[in-house]
């Protein structure tokens, strides 16, 4: 990552501190890291027809990620999969639904957690990662806008 590109998490935290007039502290967070949800995408390879482009969407709490991945690997075979995207998110269910809706609108085959690109589609893993990152950032921006809206409504009364 380039050094001149701002880190969204650090910038978001700075703005929250400014908005709510909170002084940053060096204390560790009291949040339980096992409560953090992760949403990820695995790239699947179908050995019977390698021209098919498949992806598997999953979500779980941080403490259950390894267990979830082992269950998926057992079902589809570890050699046929590689993880291309995993990010912490406010709601893994919400991000998964956003991704599924996005691809349903593009007339992809979406069933359960499987996404399949149409034949001769220009999508590959790199393009998929870029698109997933955009959807992830939209989700975070929506959360940021909600916090700002709440702050503005509260600050009107003071």
pLDDT at 1: 47
pLDDT at 130: 93
Q: Rank 2-11, 42-51, 84-93, 109-118 by mean pLDDT and report only the highest.
A: 109-118
Distances (CA, A) of 80 to 32, 112, 113, 148: 34, 19, 16, 43
Structure tokens belonging to residue 4: 């001149």
**What number of CA atoms fall less than 13 Å from residue 11's CA on the CB side?**
8
Closest CA to 43 of 71, 67, 76: 76
Structure tokens belonging to residue 22: 């909170």
Contacts within 8 Å (CB) and 24+ apart, 61-66: 61/34, 61/35, 61/36, 61/37, 62/33, 62/34, 62/35, 62/36, 62/37, 62/38, 62/88, 63/34, 65/38, 65/40
Instruction: Supply the mean pLDDT for the chain.
Output: 82
Ranges of each domain in the chain = 33-155
Residue 78 pLDDT grade (very low, low, confident, very high; cuts 50, 70, 90): confident
Is pLDDT above 80 for 50?
A: no
Report whether 112 contacts 67 (CB < 8 A): no
pLDDT tens digit string along 21-46?
666 666 666 666 667 888 899 998 87
């Amino acid at each position: 990552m380039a050094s001149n590109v701002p880190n969204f998490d650090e910038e978001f935290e700075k703005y929250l501190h400014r908005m709510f007039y909170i002084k940053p502290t060096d204390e560790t967070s009291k949040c339980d890291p096992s409560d953090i949800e992760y949403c990820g995408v695995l790239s699947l390879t179908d050995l019977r027809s390698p021209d098919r482009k498949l992806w598997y969407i999953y979500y779980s709490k941080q403490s259950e990620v390894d267990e979830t991945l082992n269950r998926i690997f057992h079902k589809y075979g570890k050699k046929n999969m590689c993880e291309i995207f995993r990010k912490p998110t406010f709601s893994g269910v919400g991000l998964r639904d956003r991704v599924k809706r996005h691809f349903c609108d593009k007339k992809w085959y979406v069933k359960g957690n499987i996404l399949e690109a149409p034949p001769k589609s220009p999508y590959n893993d790199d393009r998929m990662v870029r698109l997933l990152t955009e959807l992830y950032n939209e989700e975070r921006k929506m959360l940021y806008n909600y916090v700002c809206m709440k702050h503005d409504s509260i600050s009107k009364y003071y």
